[in-house]
Amino acid sequence: MTTRDLLEETYSAVTVNKVRSGLTMLGIVIGIASVIALVAVGQGSQASIQANIDSLGANLVMVLPGAARGFGTTVRSAGGSSQTLTPDDAAAIASSVSNVAAVAPEVSGRYQVIYGANNTNTSVLGTTAAYEQVRNVSIDTGNFFSDTDNAVSNRVAVIGPTVLQTLFAPSATASATPDMAIGKTIQIKGTEFTVIGVTVAKGGSGFSNQDDMIYVPLSTAQHYLLGSSAYLTEVDVEAATQDAMTQVQNDITALLLQRHNITDPTQADFNVLNQASIVSTASSVTGTFTTLLAAIAAISLLVGGIGIMNMMLTTVTERTREIGLRKAIGAKKQDITLQFLAESVMLTFTGGLIGIVLGWLAAAIISLVTGIATSVSIPYILLAFFVSAAIGIIFGYYPARRAAGLNPIEALRYE
Binding residues vs another protein (CB under 8 A): 1-2, 4-5, 9, 12, 16, 321-322, 324-333, 335, 408-409, 412
Burial class of residue 76 in the structure, from the number of CB atoms within 10 Å of its CB (0-12 exposed, 13-18 middle, 19+ buried):
middle
262 CA to centre of own chain: 38
- Kindly state the smallest distance separating residue 330's Cβ from another protein, in Å: 2
At position 171, the amino acid (one-letter code) is S
- Kindly state the smallest distance separating residue 8's Cβ from another protein, in Å: 9
Q: Which is nearer to another protein, 76 or 333 (CB)?
A: 333
Q: Are 149 and 223 in contact (CB under 8 A)?
A: no
Residues 49, 51, 52, 56: what is their CA dihedral angle, to the nearest 10 degrees?
A: 140
- Kindly state the smallest distance separating residue 396's Cβ from another protein, in Å: 20
Q: Which is nearer to another protein, 272 or 341 (CB)?
A: 341
- Kindly state the smallest distance separating residue 342's Cβ from another protein, in Å: 14
Q: Which is nearer to another protein, 206 or 408 (CB)?
A: 408
Q: Are 102 and 109 in contact (CB under 8 A)?
A: no
Q: Which is nearer to another protein, 69 or 332 (CB)?
A: 332
Report the C-alpha gap between 189 and 157 in whole angstroms: 13
- Can you list the alpha helix ranges (DSSP code H) found in 214-271? 218-220, 245-259
Q: Are 221 and 124 in contact (CB under 8 A)?
A: yes
Report the C-alpha gap between 82 and 12 in whole angstroms: 76
CB-based contacts of 5: which residues, under 8 Å, 6+ apart? none
CB-based contacts of 267: which residues, under 8 Å, 6+ apart? 67, 68, 70, 74
- Kindly state the smallest distance separating residue 402's Cβ from another protein, in Å: 15
Q: Which is nearer to another protein, 7 or 91 (CB)?
A: 7
Q: Which is nearer to another protein, 72 or 330 (CB)?
A: 330
Q: Which is nearer to another protein, 202 or 327 (CB)?
A: 327
Report the C-alpha gap between 371 and 353 in whole angstroms: 26
- Kindly state the smallest distance separating residue 343's Cβ from another protein, in Å: 14
At position 18, the amino acid (one-letter code) is K
- Kindly state the smallest distance separating residue 12's Cβ from another protein, in Å: 7
Nearest-CA neighbor of 367 among 42, 51, 30?
Answer: 42
Q: Are 197 and 141 in contact (CB under 8 A)?
A: yes
Q: What are phi and psi of 60, to 5 degrees?
A: -85, 130
- Kindly state the smallest distance separating residue 318's Cβ from another protein, in Å: 11
Burial class of residue 356 in the structure, from the number of CB atoms within 10 Å of its CB (0-12 exposed, 13-18 middle, 19+ buried):
buried
Q: Which is nearer to another protein, 295 or 328 (CB)?
A: 328
- Kindly state the smallest distance separating residue 406's Cβ from another protein, in Å: 11
Q: Is the dihedral of CA 306, 307, 313, 316 positive or negative?
A: negative
Which H helix or E strand runs over 410? Answer: helix 408-413
CA-angle at 408, arms to 406 and 409, nearest 5°: 120
Q: Which is nearer to another protein, 185 or 334 (CB)?
A: 334
- Kindly state the smallest distance separating residue 5's Cβ from another protein, in Å: 5
Q: Which is nearer to another protein, 169 or 325 (CB)?
A: 325
- Kindly state the smallest distance separating residue 338's Cβ from another protein, in Å: 12
Report the C-alpha gap between 103 and 131 in whole angstroms: 8
Question: What one-character DSSP code corresponds to residue 268?
Answer: -
Q: Which is nearer to another protein, 311 or 381 (CB)?
A: 311
